[in-house]
């Protein structure tokens, strides 16, 4: 009988994180109101983490799972989940056995938050493809 290696433990831990991510993705909000509420909750959790990490307050830090899920929702809803750097952060946060310093993650979480906000702004400025665009008035219109 062989003793599992560190690599085997890491792979099992990451598999648990990937399963968690898949379960979250399957809970995608069904309407705009639910999506908006989920976004605001996720953004509040990430902001609370940033404030707590900046002030080095352990008491105010959200849990790894809360932060990981919130980061996931910010990226999932803005369709930038495939960014490897941000996705890796989410996997690390949702890997239960991986040792992390929550304070050391601050620059990465800030960067993820900014990317999500930039993507959201771009989504707002771009008209959705499923909504018809109103015809523009021109000088040849009779009415």
The predicted-structure confidence for 44-81, as pLDDT tens digits, reads as follows: 999 999 999 999 988 889 999 999 999 999 998 888 77
Which has more pLDDT, 112 or 11?
112
User: CA nearest 90: which of 7, 25, 38?
Assistant: 25
Task: Count Cβ neighbours within 10 Å for each residue of 98-118 and write b for 16 or more, e otherwise.
Answer: eeeebeebbebbeebbebbee
Integer Cα distance of 125 and 39 in angstroms: 18
User: CA nearest 17: which of 88, 78, 85, 79?
Assistant: 88
Which token pair is 69? 């899920």
127: left (phi over 0), alpha (psi -120 to 50) or beta: beta
Integer Cα distance of 93 and 20 in angstroms: 11
Over 90: is that where the pLDDT of 14 sits?
no
pLDDT tens profile 73-123: 999 888 877 768 888 899 889 887 767 888 999 999 999 999 999 988 888
Please give the pLDDT value at position 132.
47
Integer Cα distance of 114 and 28 in angstroms: 22
Integer Cα distance of 120 and 126 in angstroms: 10
Over 80: is that where the pLDDT of 142 sits?
no
Tell me what the mean pLDDT of segment 127-137 comes to.
Answer: 53
pLDDT band at 27 (very low <50, low <70, confident <90, very high): confident
**Can you give the pTM of this predicted structure?**
0.77
């Amino acid at each position: 009988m062989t003793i599992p290696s560190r690599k085997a433990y890491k792979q099992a831990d990451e598999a648990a994180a990937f399963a968690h991510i898949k379960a979250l993705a399957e809970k995608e909000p069904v309407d705009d109101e639910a999506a908006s509420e989920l976004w605001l909750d996720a953004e509040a959790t990430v902001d609370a983490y940033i404030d707590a990490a900046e002030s080095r307050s352990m008491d105010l830090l959200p849990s790894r799972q809360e932060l990981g899920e919130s980061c996931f929702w910010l990226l999932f809803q803005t369709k930038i989940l495939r960014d490897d750097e941000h996705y890796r952060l989410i996997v690390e946060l949702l890997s239960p056995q991986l040792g992390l310093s929550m304070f050391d993650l601050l620059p990465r979480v800030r960067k993820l938050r900014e990317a999500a906000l930039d993507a959201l702004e771009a989504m707002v400025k771009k008209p959705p493809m499923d909504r018809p665009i109103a015809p523009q008035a021109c000088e040849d219109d009779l009415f």
